[in-house]
Amino acid sequence: MNKIIITLVILATQWLSAQNVSLTVNVSGFKTNDGKLKVGLYNGEGTFLRETFLSLDSKISDLKATVVFKDLPKGEYAISLYHDENDSGVLEKGMFGIPKEPFACSNNAKGKMGPPKYNDAKFTIDSNKEILIELGR
């Protein structure tokens, strides 16, 4: 009986993990290889640019960087990222909260008189996906 239960648990775990997907984020447009890339993944409009669902960072090499989010539930997401040029762990901001370090969002969404909107940055994942984001200022 224990063998049957263990087998069912293993099969259920494999089935559930097969329902998850990975997201590869390739970033280009760096001016230097200094610092790190910081990437935030958001899973809803209410948390966008406030509280990440997941976050990763990456070294920069040849003016490019890549992060991979694994085992994501299928669904709707958005990304914001920045080049932490001085490796402080914080997006440096100037007057009126305008970022001093290069930043970008998924779909290369741009803000108008403020930060980009979730609806402009959101995308859906229903299978493994790879996206490219061009870093801006």
Comparison of pLDDT for 136 and 39, the residue scoring more: 39
d(CA 20, CA 125): 10
Task: Please report where in the chains the tokens 């809803």 appear, as a residue.
Answer: 44
Q: Considering Cα of 79, then 136, then 27, then 100, what sign does the dihedral take?
A: negative
- Which pLDDT does position 13 carry in this prediction? 55
Please write the tens of the pLDDT for every residue from 72-126.
999 999 999 999 999 999 899 888 888 899 999 999 999 888 889 999 999 999 9
By CB neighbour count within 10 A (0-12 exposed, 13-18 middle, 19+ buried), where does 39 fall?
A: buried
- Which pLDDT does position 77 carry in this prediction? 98
Enter the tokens of residue 10.
């293993």
75: left (phi over 0), alpha (psi -120 to 50) or beta: left
- List Cα–Cα distances, 37 to 12, 49, 82, 104, 105, in angstroms: 36, 16, 6, 11, 13
- Which pLDDT does position 15 carry in this prediction? 54
**What pTM does this model have?**
0.83
Averaged pLDDT for residues 1-18: 59
Mean confidence (pLDDT) of the chain: 89
